[in-house]
Structure 1
Amino acid sequence: MNAPRRAARSRPSKGKASIARVGLSALVVATAASATAVSAVSLRMARTVVTPAGRVANTRIVSLDASAQTITLERTADTALPGRYGIFTTGTSDYLRLGSVVADDGKTVTRKLLTHVPADGSLAAEAAFSGWYFDEPEQLRLPVLSVQIETPVGLCPAWEFPADGDSGVWVVQVHGRGTTRAETLRAVPLFRALGITSLAVSYRNDGEAPRSASGTYTLGATEWRDVESAIEYALHRGARRILLMGWSMGGAMCLQTEALSAHRDVIAGLILESPVVDWRTVLRYQSRLLKLPAPVLSLTERILDSRWGARLVRGGDAIPLDRLDRVAHAAELRHPVLILHSDDDGFVPSDASHALAAARPDLVTLETFEVARHTKLWNYDETRFTRVIQDWVRQQGLADGE
């Protein structure tokens, strides 16, 4: 009898095996390429976060009517805002102050021009819209001293606006990322009316103060030490109680100072305008705006929060994102806080401000705005901005004579 046949094993043909190997190789290459792309975008995002940047052109000037004292701008969410603003230009003037909107056709807006421009003046099309309004201390027409504050990185310039009287209360005003102390000038008059001396400070890597060794931001993790130096300056000048007012990233710096200062006993409270309360909330929001995939955000945070990442972005130390999250550390808060934040901020979302207020209703007062966007609350509604801050200061017993 013939022996029974063994069942033949099913083996892929050489052609099919080759196709499988090619497919696997393509997958590996695609995965590697994807990982490389994620790494590259994450590194770029991390570097952008920590690298001090100058003024960015975000507005296009369409036309200028010197006789009517108006300027027409491309319409954006910012240029269409009600209120008074400023615009940085090139041409006959570096900075123009803008008044109310007089025309809006959906594509452009025309605003009153509050700065005189010669009839033959020409302006470049690209400009930077700003909420500063005042860009020089002399424009306030108040007594002011130009001073130098000794900090760990060297002498940092500041403006001191003495109060008319001696309440013993000073406010240290801290500007935000990518700006200068001129950003804080809008708030000086309201504090002076309360008998409070204002100290508008600069800090490392802001373009006016000395650079740190790395020349990069640490998002408040080290910059707060310059705020601490400002407190010491004020105490040496006779201050007995200190208010901290921070704008945007300046808010993160003030919150770090509140937590770590050796002078916590003289800090009377914090006023925060459009503040960064938690950097992860900001990074998450910005990554959504840029439509970046989740792995990019995750790797960006790891780069910022690690020593190896600090080397990649040419920074100093790792940035402790957990420690900078003041919502997570809300139990450590010891001083009253007033937060002013627009729910349509557009840059620093108000989520963390709401979360901090919910976590510490005993200390945190949150005043929300709409329409005002990022650090433009004074511009949008100066009356409300002033009233809210002055009422809160009086409630804390910090106004002159209280």
Structure 2
Amino acid sequence: MKPSRHAAPTGATPMLLAGVRAALATLSVALVGVLGLMGLASLRMARRVVTPAVRTADTRILGLDVAAQTITLERTPDTALPGRYGLFTSGTERYIKLGSVLAEDDTTVKRKLLTEIGPDSRLAPDAAFSGWYYDGPEQLHLPYSSELIGSPAGPCPAWFFPGRPDADVWVLQVHGRGTTRAECLRAVPVFHALGFPVLVVSYRNDGEAPRSRSGTYTLGATEWRDVDAAIGFARRRGARRIILMGWSMGGAISLQVELNSPRRDLIAGLVLESPVVDWRVVLGYQAKLMHVPAAVSGLALGALQSDWAAPFTRSAPIAFDRLDAVARAAELQHPILVLHSDDDGFVPSDASHDLVVARPDLVELQVFEVARHTKLWNYDQERWSTSIRSWLERHGLGPVHEASPTD
């Protein structure tokens, strides 16, 4: 009689078979556990991407010399940068301005203080380094007013800096992820000096504008509608053309306005500072930076695009193909100036380079080095400002719109 196909091999014992079965069972449980942990990690990553960021300490204050008006910081890629910056602190001072590097070694950086610190000032050791420099509109010493823009999300606060009385080309500035309108203040004097009215806007879930039902970012997929409402606001106030300027995620939002807005014919051009052009490039880079396994980051991207993950991410599915300006480059209609550092350190410049290749007829890229994310003005204010002024001049973009036969 032939042995059964399921019979134990010659020499096998019931005890050996039991051990093999137990090992396989243990392996299966372990595999399920690993997959479960990967799934949990990917959901956490996905949730983090769309959750509005809170400013966290990234800089250590090591010393303060009130007599010399200097501050010593722990050395990081940011604290060692040349130029002018800001530092969010706690204690008797909320925000202080930093000047040039006076001395440095392998672990410390001494900088000049541009905010006067008195003998009674006390600063907590943990702080947050910033490229904002200006943290309030009054510091520009320019006329401005506070406005409310009615958007689909509700009334969004904005600052308006008037330009020439006859100006009908406005600049709308859009800040980035985890920041507020103050991020944009550095650019106001450049445009104001040329006569442009400047509107610095907010958008849903940024901590100043209304909160959406989910309270999460959609990385530009819905936020662009609040900026589009600001274009309508400007139009009602006399603007005939709009120049959009977006910083980081504000660049992604501005590109979505360019690609989707029913008012896109009012757009004259875009200026993008350290922009997110393709979110998949940024998220992949950030995952590698944080040593997140590729499988986990891939699952996180899948979760952000899926309905099933919505209860965990609290966000509607995000169509990354629609947010990819390189893939949609053929749809772009207006000239774009991109200012990006190859040493950005947060949003890699790869997609900005790709956008130039895709649309060399519309896109100009000014490549910086050394400067970090959204800190190009701080690092080289003269080159940054000249790049914008020259681009405006080459494209005939002044504050007064020249009427054409089709107007």
Letter in 2 for 1:321: F
The answer for the alignment partner of 1:368 in structure 2 is 367
Partner of 2:221: 221
- Tell me which residue corresponds to 1:114: 114
3-state SS of paired residue (1:56): coil
Distance in 2 of aligned mates of 1:283 and 1:71: 34
**Alpha-carbon offset, residue 400 of structure 1:** 4.0
> What does 1:53-92 correspond to in 2, within 5 Å?
53-92=53-92
Structure 2 residue 60 is matched with structure 1 residue 47:
no
2:5 aligned residue: none
The answer as to whether partners of 2:170 and 2:399 remain within 8 angstroms in 1 is no
CA–CA separation in structure 2 for the residues paired with 1:400 and 1:40? 52
Counterpart code for 1:324 = L
Any conservation in 2 of the 1:172–1:244 contact (CA below 8 Å)?
A: yes
SS at match of 1:265: helix
CA distance in 1, matches of 2:309, 2:224: 22
Give the Å deviation of 1:40: 1.4
Give 1:220-299 correspondences, 5 Å limit.
220-299=220-299
Matching residue of 1:13:
13
Question: SS in structure 1 opposite 2:333?
Answer: coil
Contact persistence 1:134–1:182 (CA under 8 A): yes
Q: Using the TM superposition, give the Cα deviation of residue 164 of structure 1 relative to its aligned residue in structure 2, in angstroms.
A: 2.9
SS at match of 1:307: coil
Per-residue CA shift, 1:266-322, capped at 9, x if unaligned?
10011100000000001100111111111101110111111112221122x211111
Return closer, same or farther for 1:52/1:400 CA change in 2, 3 Å cut-off: closer
Q: 1:60/1:9 Cα in 2 relative to 1: closer, same or farther (>3 Å)?
A: closer
Residue 281 of structure 1 aligns to which amino acid in structure 2?
V
| SS of residue in 2 equivalent to 1:216 | coil
Letter in 2 for 1:124: A
| Cα deviation, residue 26, structure 1 | 2.0
1:9–1:37 CA distance, 2 compared to 1 (3 A): closer
Unaligned runs of 5+ in 1: 1-7
Amino acid at match of 2:87: I
- Secondary structure of the residue aligned to 1:385 is helix
Deviation at 1:89, TM superposition (A): 0.3
Matched, 1:358 2:320: no
Is 1:386 equivalent to 2:368 in the alignment?
no
Q: Deviation string for 1:29-85 (max 9, x for gaps)?
A: 221111011111111111111111221111011111111000110000000000000
Give the count of matched residue pairs.
Answer: 394
Return the letter of the residue paired with 2:96: L
SS at match of 2:302: helix
In 2, distance between residues paired with 1:400 and 1:23? 75
Q: Is the 8 A contact 1:92 1:117 kept in 2?
A: no
* DSSP 3-state at the match of 2:194: coil
Q: Distance in 1 between matches of 2:12 and 2:301?
A: 46
Partner of residue 137, structure 1? 137
In 2, the alpha carbon distance for the partners of 1:281 and 1:18 equals 49
Q: Deviation per CA, 1:138-161, whole angstroms, max 9, x where unpaired?
A: 110111011110011111110000
8 Å contact from structure 1 (residues 74, 107) kept in 2: yes
| Other-structure match for 1:5 | none
Contact 2:281–2:348 under 8 Å retained in 1:
yes
Deviations 1:333-383 (A, max 9, x none): 111111000001111110111111111101100111001010000000000
- Comparing 289-298 with 207-216, greater Cα deviation is found at 289-298
Q: 1:10 to 1:85 in 2, by over 3 A?
A: same
CA distance in 1, matches of 2:399, 2:238: 15
Aligned residue in 1 for 2:319: 320
- Structure 2 counterpart of 1:164: 164
RMSD over equivalenced CA pairs, Å: 1.2
Task: Note the C-alpha offset of 1:12.
Answer: 2.2
Q: Conserved in 2, the CA contact under 8 Å of 1:243 and 1:270?
A: yes
Contact 1:84 1:100 in 2 (8 A): yes
Which secondary structure state, in structure 2, belongs to the residue aligned with residue 308 of structure 1?
Answer: coil
Please report how far the alpha carbon of residue 9 of structure 1 lies from its aligned counterpart in structure 2 after TM superposition: 6.0
What is the one-letter code of the residue matched to 2:366? E
Query: 1:166, 1:195 within 8 Å by CA — same for their partners in 2?
Result: no
Deviation of residue 11 (structure 1)? 5.5
Secondary structure of 1:379 counterpart: helix
The normalised TM-score by structure 1 is 0.96
The whole-number CA distance in structure 2 between the counterparts of 1:237 and 1:320 is: 34
Distance 1:345 1:132 in 2: 16
Rounded to whole Å, the distance in 1 between the matches of 2:247 and 2:91 is 29
Q: Which position in structure 2 is the counterpart of 1:332? A: 331
Structure 1 distance, partners of 2:19, 2:286, is 42
Deviation at 1:259, TM superposition (A): 0.5
| 2:80/2:109 contact within 8 Å kept | yes
Do the aligned residues in 2 keep the contact of 1:159 with 1:200 (CA within 8 Å)? yes
What is the rounded CA distance, in whole Å, between the counterparts of 2:343 and 2:28 in structure 1? 43
SS at match of 2:62: strand
Residue 93 of structure 1 deviates from its aligned partner by 1.0
Whether contact under 8 Å (2:93, 2:122) holds in the other structure is no
Distance in 1, matches of 2:130 and 2:26, equals: 49
